[in-house]
């Protein structure tokens, strides 16, 4: 069997094109959607995500109020910056890039963000609304996965979805979204405490890998005909590559292509969707906040 490779790059481009149109309409009414991305320190993966976000903002015509702070920034300084952005009516979305340096309490910073500007969907109010199936900003990566499944024509209703990983950013919200009434999947969550991981992954009609370990999902762990969604972005050394490394997912891509019916590649799979959904959330924030201010 040779799986269909889901082209996240092109699905993300069409999401951005749709967002750009709506940004044009908002701008003609005098609203300039604006996102502030705060990066603390120089974590290379974070720097690269933030660069991708800046590029997407320019493409969809939104204002970029990104702020890059040194790793030595104190928690109090960061909290006061967030408070200022909360109070600034020209800023519609606030995203604090994670991970933060160890001396800063991440959850304190996330809780300081005004839920109306929480375009990451990480604030406890956003998470609570997501669980309760109420309107909210959906977290970008899991939301992007749902859009990819929909665009590829993969039905979630009644499917057995196995999510490997329980991080607050991907695994946990992914499992909740798949089990909500609008997706109606039966969900199993696997994590570091799971015994015999392969016995679960082999039952998956939809397998979402969000582990953070290069090629941890091997061909023998995949059910024939499954849809395999690879959320992992791992840097592995490669002296033949220009930068000395290349990106690989959590799934052995070549092996998965032999067994599965659908596979997302790394790069150009889930990654571009995360940024596209962030653009959509920022548009939503600007639409809601500008309507509330009228």
Instruction: Tell me if 95 contacts ligand GUN by CB under 6 A.
Output: yes
Instruction: Tell me if 56 contacts ligand GUN by CB under 6 A.
Output: no
User: CA 221, CA 255: separation in Å to the nearest integer?
Assistant: 10
Catalytic residue among 118, 120, 250, 252: 120
Residue 132 in 3-state DSSP?
Answer: coil
User: 88 catalytic, yes or no?
Assistant: no
Q: Which is nearer to ligand GUN, 33 or 173 (CB)?
A: 173
Helix ranges (H only) for 8-102 are 8-28, 44-60, 75-87
Of 31, 140, 222, 277, the one binding ligand GUN by CB under 6 A: 140
Q: Which is nearer to ligand GUN, 189 or 273 (CB)?
A: 273
What b/e sequence results for 119-135 when a residue is b if at least 16 CB atoms lie within 10 Å of its CB, and e otherwise? bbbbbebbbebbeeeee
Instruction: Tell me if 120 contacts ligand GUN by CB under 6 A.
Output: yes
Of 22, 36, 97, 201, the one binding ligand GUN by CB under 6 A: 97
User: 203 catalytic, yes or no?
Assistant: no
**Residues in 269-288 that interact with ligand GUN by CB under 6 A:** 274
Catalytic residue among 97, 117, 230, 250: 97
Q: Which is nearer to ligand GUN, 148 or 259 (CB)?
A: 148
Instruction: Tell me if 54 contacts ligand GUN by CB under 6 A.
Output: no
CB of 260 to ligand GUN, least distance (A): 25
CB of 95 to ligand GUN, least distance (A): 5
User: CA 273, CA 188: separation in Å to the nearest integer?
Assistant: 23
**Residues in 150-169 that interact with ligand GUN by CB under 6 A:** 169
Q: Which is nearer to ligand GUN, 25 or 83 (CB)?
A: 83
CB of 270 to ligand GUN, least distance (A): 11
Looking at 19-27, 91-99, 204-212, 255-263, which segment touches ligand GUN (CB under 6 A)? 91-99
CB of 90 to ligand GUN, least distance (A): 21
Q: Is there a contact between 146 and 177 (Cβ–Cβ < 8 Å)?
A: yes
Six token digits for residue 208: 């979402």
For ligand GUN, what does the binding mask look like between residues 98 and 117, x meaning CB under 6 A?
Answer: x-------------------
Q: Is there a contact between 38 and 97 (Cβ–Cβ < 8 Å)?
A: yes
User: CA 114, CA 118: separation in Å to the nearest integer?
Assistant: 6
The Cβ of residue 47 has, within 10 Å, a number of other Cβ atoms equal to 14
**Residues in 195-224 that interact with ligand GUN by CB under 6 A:** none
CA dist list (Å): 29 to 5, 57, 94: 40, 19, 22
Q: Which is nearer to ligand GUN, 56 or 96 (CB)?
A: 96
Q: Which residue is nearest to ligand GUN (CB)?
A: 98
| Strand order across the 206-209 sheet | 4-5, 262-263, 227-230, 206-209, 160-164, 186-190
Which helix (H) or strand (E) segment is 111 a member of?
helix 106-112
Q: Is there a contact between 263 and 122 (Cβ–Cβ < 8 Å)?
A: no
Using omega within 30 degrees of 0 as the cis cutoff, is the peptide bond preceding 99 cis?
yes
User: CA 192, CA 229: separation in Å to the nearest integer?
Assistant: 19
User: 53 catalytic, yes or no?
Assistant: yes
Q: Which residue, among 140, 260, 139, has the nearest Cα to 206 in the 3D structure?
A: 260
Catalytic residues: 53, 97, 120
Residue numbers of the site for ligand GUN (CB under 6 A)? Answer: 95-98, 120, 140-141, 169, 274
């Amino acid at each position: 069997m040779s799986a269909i490779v889901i082209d996240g790059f092109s699905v993300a481009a069409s999401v951005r094109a749709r967002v750009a149109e709506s940004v044009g309409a908002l701008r003609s009414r005098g609203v300039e959607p604006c996102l502030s991305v705060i990066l603390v320190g120089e974590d290379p993966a974070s720097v690269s995500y933030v660069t991708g976000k800046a590029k997407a903002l320019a493409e969809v015509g939104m204002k970029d109020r990104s702020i890059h702070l040194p790793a030595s920034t104190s928690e109090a300084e960061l909290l006061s910056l967030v408070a200022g952005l909360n109070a600034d009516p020209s800023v519609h979305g606030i995203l604090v890039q994670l991970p933060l340096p160890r001396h800063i309490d991440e959850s304190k910073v996330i809780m300081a963000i005004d839920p109306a500007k929480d375009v990451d969907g990480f604030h406890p109010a956003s998470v609570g609304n997501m669980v309760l199936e109420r309107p909210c900003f959906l977290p970008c990566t899991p939301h992007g996965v749902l859009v990819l499944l929909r665009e590829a024509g993969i039905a979630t209703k009644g499917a057995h979805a196995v999510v490997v990983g329980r991080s607050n950013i991907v695994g946990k919200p992914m499992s909740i979204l798949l089990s909500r009434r609008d997706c109606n999947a039966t969900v199993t969550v696997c994590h570091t405490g799971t015994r015999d991981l392969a016995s679960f992954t082999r039952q998956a009609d939809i397998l979402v890998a969000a582990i953070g370990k290069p090629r941890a999902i091997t061909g023998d762990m995949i059910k024939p005909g499954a849809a395999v969604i690879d959320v992992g972005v791992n840097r592995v050394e490669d002296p033949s590559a220009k930068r000395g490394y290349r990106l690989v997912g959590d799934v052995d891509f070549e092996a998965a292509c032999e067994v599965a019916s659908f596979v997302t590649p790394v790069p150009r799979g889930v990654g571009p969707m995360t940024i596209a959904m962030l653009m959509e959330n920022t548009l939503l924030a600007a639409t809601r906040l500008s309507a509330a201010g009228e």
